[in-house]
Structure 1
Amino acid sequence: MNLTIINPNRLDQCTRRIDEYARRWFPDIDISVVAPTFGPRELAGEYETQLCATGVLDQITGADPTTDAFVLAGFAEPGTEAAREVAACPVVDITEAGPMRALLFGRRYAIITSTRAVIPAVEDRIRCLGLDQRALPISAVDMGVAEMLDKPDDLAGAVERELHRLARAGHTGAVVLGCGGMTGVAERVAIPDGITVVDPVRAAVATAAAIVAEQSNRTESLI
């Protein structure tokens, strides 16, 4: 099985982090992690977010034809529907896979994203996907992706504080890490009792692998 994960920003450190954890989590899957060759280096707001979509689509149209599925590793980034139009295989967006998995762990779920500036875009995307009815208000650690990568201890501390705030408030069974730059941080924090932390990259790869396996089984049954 060959899966391609597309990191929408052009931060090499972010691409490497996603690659490191994806390979560790799924050692039996042939995983490639790529990023656009043009476009914004970091997605700090709506302007850069909109610009990155073309670069992501370029990675899909130019991908190895043996790719069995794509995972889009940008949270609330545009282009998922367009990617599904041009891709010859399944496309799984972490913005869908993360919350969908979180819904299995409780009546309500929360999302912790990067900065307050991106919260409106995340809210819009979650609403568009029909995943807003059971979502609590979105919160942020107030760190951009580059800062997250440069200061992993600060990121872990900020995420942990927000997890404990949500635990004290109650009403949530799961928390989604709403940024690809947070990949792997769940392994570095003390998670409060009663809360499941969902890494959306991990959830998306697992979902993509399940879809590919199901399609393969269906094809074999027709032979």
Structure 2
Amino acid sequence: MRILVVNVNTTETMTASIGAQAAGVAAPGTEIVPLTPVFGAESVEGNYESYLAAIAVMETVRAYPDPYDAVVQAGYGEHGREGLQELLDVPVVDITEAAASTAMFLGHKYSVVTTLDRAVPLIEDRLKLAGLLDRCASVRASGVAVLDLEHDPQAAVEAIAREAARAVEDDHAEVVCLGCGGMAGLIERVAERTGAPVVDGVAAAVTIAESLVRLGLSTSKVRTYAPPRPKSFKSWPP
């Protein structure tokens, strides 16, 4: 089985970190292929960057030349998962939805701890669209910029763990979801601080994708995610 794990930003070191997290949970025989978009922002922290990332992710996957069995979209918020589901005949799993749906097996309410406050509405909208918001106790911002996860990891981990503890204590969350693909590898520290199960979206998405492939299931093409109708596109691809 081969799974493409697509970073939504153009930072190669973050792609490597996401790929390592994915490979660490993949079953024997599953090949993880980390991909970085060829255009876009170095970090995705707002609507403009997010919509640009959606196009970049779709085009990066379309350009991949070899066969694959599933795609994991490794970005929190809105990054074009539905477009990929129209384009592809293999399962497409978004880490935002994968983390939340996994968390609901583990406790009554979950919280998401993300990066900057401006990302909170994007994540809430994604969860609402997916029908996962009712069991969400809160979406909390740590105040950590995406690239700070690499540039100042010690301070970043402390800020994320602090907000996770507040989610459990103040919001009554029973499970914590790490709300950024770049937070891969923080599970133990946050679990230690909160005493609650901690779900990493990349790890959850990979295991869900593997399960769908083994079950022989993929996206329904009956209506919503039917392939795009044939038509001409002006000046596209650029």
Residues 27-48 of structure 1: per-residue CA shift (max 9 Å, x gap): 6220000011012222121111
Partner of 2:12: 12
- Once the two structures are superposed, residues 13-71 of structure 1 have per-residue CA deviations (whole angstroms, 9 ceiling, x without a partner) of 11011112222222622000001101222212111111111110012212244200000
Aligned to 1:182: 183
Structure 2 match to 1:130: 131
Which residue is equivalent to 1:105?
Answer: 106
Q: Distance in 2 between matches of 1:85 and 1:27?
A: 27
Residue-pair matches, total: 215
Name the SS for the 1:136 alignment partner: strand
Match of 1:173 in 2: 174
One-letter code aligned to 2:139: I
Which stretch shows the higher mean deviation, 23-32 or 205-214? 23-32
Alpha-carbon distance in structure 2 between the residues aligned to 1:181 and 1:19? 10
Contact persistence 1:60–1:87 (CA under 8 A): no
5+ residue gaps in structure 1? 217-223
2:177, 2:120 → 1: CA distance? 14
Question: Which aligned pairs between 1:41-60 and structure 2 lie closer than 5 A?
Answer: 41-60=42-61
Alignment of 1:135-214 (within 5 A): 135-169=136-170, 171-189=172-190, 190-193=192-195, 195-214=196-215
Counterpart of 2:2 in structure 1: which amino acid?
A: N
Query: Which has the larger displacement, 66-75 or 20-29?
Result: 20-29
Q: Structure 1 segments of 4 or more deviating over 6 A?
A: none
Partner of 1:220: none
Check whether the contact 2:3–2:70 (CA below 8 A) recurs between aligned residues: yes
Q: Secondary structure at the match of 1:120?
A: helix
Give me the CA root mean square deviation: 1.5
Distance 2:171 2:94 in 1: 28
Is the Cα–Cα contact under 8 Å of residues 113 and 138 in structure 1 kept in the other structure?
Answer: yes
For 2:107 and 2:203, the matched residues in 1 are separated by: 19
- SS of the aligned residue for 2:15 comes to helix
Q: SS of 2:133's equivalent?
A: coil
Q: CA contact under 8 A between 2:8 and 2:79: conserved in structure 1?
A: no
| % identical equivalent positions | 33
Length-normalised TM-score, structure 2: 0.86
Q: Structure 2: state its 5+ residue gaps.
A: 218-238
Which position in structure 2 is the counterpart of 1:2?
Answer: 2
Q: Give the Cα–Cα distance (whole angstroms) in 2 for the partners of residues 192 and 135 of structure 1.
A: 17
What amino acid does structure 1 have at the position aligned with 2:44? Answer: L
Contact 2:144 2:159 in 1 (8 A): no
Report the Cα distance in structure 2 between the residues aligned to 1:144 and 1:169, rounded to whole angstroms: 23
